[in-house]
Amino acid sequence: MTAPTPPVAPPSAGSGPPTTSLRAGLRRLSTGLLAYGTIGIILAVAGLLAMLYVGNRVSSLADATGDRVELLIGTVEDSATVLKDAGSTAISFAATLERTPPTIRQAASTIEGMRGTMLTIQSQLGALSILGSRPLGGVADQFGQIAADLEGLDSRLDLIATDLEDNKSKLLANAASLTALGERLDEIADELRSGFIQDSLDDVRLVITVLAFLLVAWTVLPAVGALLFGWWLRRELATTDSAWDAV
C-alpha cells in the first residue's frame, strides 16, 4: 500500500509573481532604456562623424594655409627688399641734393658778379668817344642787355637752392620711413616663417580630436550601459514569465 501524497502547501504571498502593474512598469523601463541606449549610440556615431568631418576640414585648411603663408612670406620679403632699395636710393639722391645747393649758390654769386662786370663794361664802352662818335656804343648796349637778362637770376637760383635743401630733408625722412618699413616687413616674414600659424591650426585640430573622443565617450558609455541594462531587464522578465507559466 502506497503512502498518501502529502498536500502541497499554497505559495506564500511573498513568493508569487510580481503584480501586473509592476511588471508593466519594468517592461516600460526596459523599453525606455533600450530606446535611450539606441538613440545615444546613434547620436554618438553622428557626433563622431561630424567631428571627424570638422577635423578633416581643419586639416585641409591647415595645408592650404601653409601654402598661402609660404606665398605671403615671399611677397612680404620682396616688398621689404623693394622698400629698403627705395630707401637706399632716396639716401643716395639726398646726398646729391646736399652737394647741389652750394653749387647753385656759387653759380648765383658768379652770375651776380658777371652782371656787375657787364654793367661796368657797358659804362666804359659807352663812354668811349672818338671825334664825337661812339664806335662801341652798340657793343656797350649788348653788354647792358645781357646784364639786364641776368638781373634777378641769382635770387631765383638762391630760392632753388633753398628748396633743394628742404627737399633733401624730406627725402631723408622718407628714406628712413621706407627703410624702417622694409625692416618691419622682414620681421613679419620671420614671424610667419616660424610656423606659429600652422602650429595654432595643429593645436585646434588636436583639441577637436580630443573633444570628439570625449564627447563620444561621454555619450556612448551611458548609452551602452542603458542598452545592456534594458536588454538584461527584458531577458529577466521573459525568464520570470516563462518560470511562472511553467508552474
- Asked if residue 13 is part of any domain, the answer here is no
Q: How far is CA 129 from the centre of its chain?
A: 89
- Asked if residue 55 is part of any domain, the answer here is yes
Q: What is the pLDDT of residues 72-84, one digit of tens each?
A: 888 888 888 888 8
Rounded to 5 degrees, what angle do the CA atoms 38, 39, 43 make? 120
- Asked if residue 91 is part of any domain, the answer here is yes
Residue 130 has what pLDDT? 67
- Asked if residue 3 is part of any domain, the answer here is no
Residue 16 has what pLDDT? 46
Which residue in 92, 100, 112, 214 sits closest to 156, CA to CA? 112
Mean pLDDT by 10-residue block, N- to C-terminus, for the chain (247 residues)? Answer: 43 50 75 80 81 77 76 83 84 78 83 81 71 67 79 82 82 84 84 74 76 77 80 76 58
Reading the block at residue 39, the C-alpha cell is 538613440
Rounded to 5 degrees, what angle do the CA atoms 213, 216, 217 make? 85
- Asked if residue 9 is part of any domain, the answer here is no
- Asked if residue 206 is part of any domain, the answer here is yes
Structural domain range at position 179: 28-242
Residue 136 has what pLDDT? 66
Which residue in 88, 47, 56, 99 sits closest to 213, CA to CA? 47
- Asked if residue 15 is part of any domain, the answer here is no
Between the CA of residue 54 and those of 59, 73, 138, what are the distances in Å?
9, 28, 99
Number of domains forming the structure of the chain: 1
- Asked if residue 21 is part of any domain, the answer here is no
Q: What is the mean pLDDT of the chain?
A: 75
Give the global pTM: 0.47
CATH number at residue 139: 1.10.287
Residue 3 has what pLDDT? 44
